[in-house]
Amino acid sequence: MITTIQYQKTSYQIDLSKPMDISISLRATEDNVNAWYIPAPKIEPVKDGDWVGKVSEGASTNFNNIYFNPHGHGTHTECVGHITPEFHSINQTLKQFFFTAELITIDPEIKDDDFVITKEQIKKELFSKPEALIIRTTPNYPDKCNKQYSHTNWAYLLEEAALFIREQGIKHLLIDLPSVDKEKDDGKLLAHKAFWNYPQDTRLDATITEMVFVKDQIKDGPYILNLQIASFENDASPSKPVLYKIIQS
């Protein structure tokens, strides 16, 4: 279904029948993607005495509780409330859901004992000033969907890279890693703070989405991004970012 959308005085043609979902699903298994040293998520029926909320055990409906952590168990979108002493809700922060976006692929460089994403790498690959930037890192194996990240010292954005992204006016940053920052950084959170410009002049309307997975078949370039969250009053929510190829603009 090809449709034309009018966005910020520009018309874009996209095919709504060909969405490219870049989220990772949440499953109640030990091989669900995991970070931050927490147990696997649980999805289990409510129990009340002898009653079990499961049709196969006699109930009229399936009636499950779900236990998970948005930051550690899959694709999630967070606001600056993730790092502030005062409360900020992603549900109150993200009020618009379609954005111009650009997908770039980065091969992190070795610096000391780390793999890092630099300002120069992003500057080389970024060809526009979109509202949203999606960073796919290499290698890009499907096991990103079930990787156990704890204690792996994953690749991360240098502070200079996050600052450059902010200076381009990019409001929404998406990446296929558990965090834009180093796993064990003594709480410095340099990339988070640089992107949100915290605490000097905090960008309350900016978001970071982590743990996406962008298949190799999706080519680098411009897209329209639909970024959907669940309506949690929390600093972060599970999210479903979906890309649409721009047919004509």
Query: What is the spatial distance between Cα 14 and Cα 79, in angstroms, rounded to a whole number?
Result: 28
E strand or H helix that includes residue 191: helix 190-196
Block residue for tokens 């930037």: 133
Assign domain 2-26+72-248 to a CATH class: alpha beta
- Cβ(136)–Cβ(214) below 8 Å: yes
- Cβ(130)–Cβ(246) below 8 Å: no
Sign of CA dihedral 150, 220, 15, 10: positive
Block residue for tokens 């743990």: 211
Strands 20-21 and 207-210: unpaired
pLDDT one-digit tens code per residue, 64-122: 999 999 999 999 999 999 999 999 999 999 999 999 999 999 999 999 999 999 999 99
Query: What is the spatial distance between Cα 59 and Cα 143, in angstroms, rounded to a whole number?
Result: 36
State yes or no: pLDDT of 7 exceeds 80: no
Query: Residue 122 burial (CB < 10 Å; 0-12/13-18/19+)?
Result: buried
**Token duo for residue 115:** 């793999």
CA angle 157, 162, 166 (to 5 degrees): 160
pLDDT one-digit tens code per residue, 151-175: 999 999 999 999 999 999 999 999 9
State yes or no: pLDDT of 248 exceeds 80: no
Average pLDDT, the chain: 96
**Token duo for residue 54:** 């499961």
**Token duo for residue 68:** 């998970």
**Token duo for residue 213:** 């997975």
State yes or no: pLDDT of 3 exceeds 90: no
Total residues belonging to the chain: 249
Q: Report if pTM > 0.85.
A: yes
Query: What is the spatial distance between Cα 205 and Cα 88, in angstroms, rounded to a whole number?
Result: 10
Residue-range domain boundaries for the chain:
2-26+72-248
Instruction: State yes or no: cis peptide before 39, omega within 30 of 0.
Output: no
**Predicted confidence band of residue 5 (pLDDT cuts 50, 70, 90):** confident
pLDDT one-digit tens code per residue, 203-214: 999 999 999 999
Query: What is the spatial distance between Cα 19 and Cα 244, in angstroms, rounded to a whole number?
Result: 6
**pLDDT score for 127:** 93
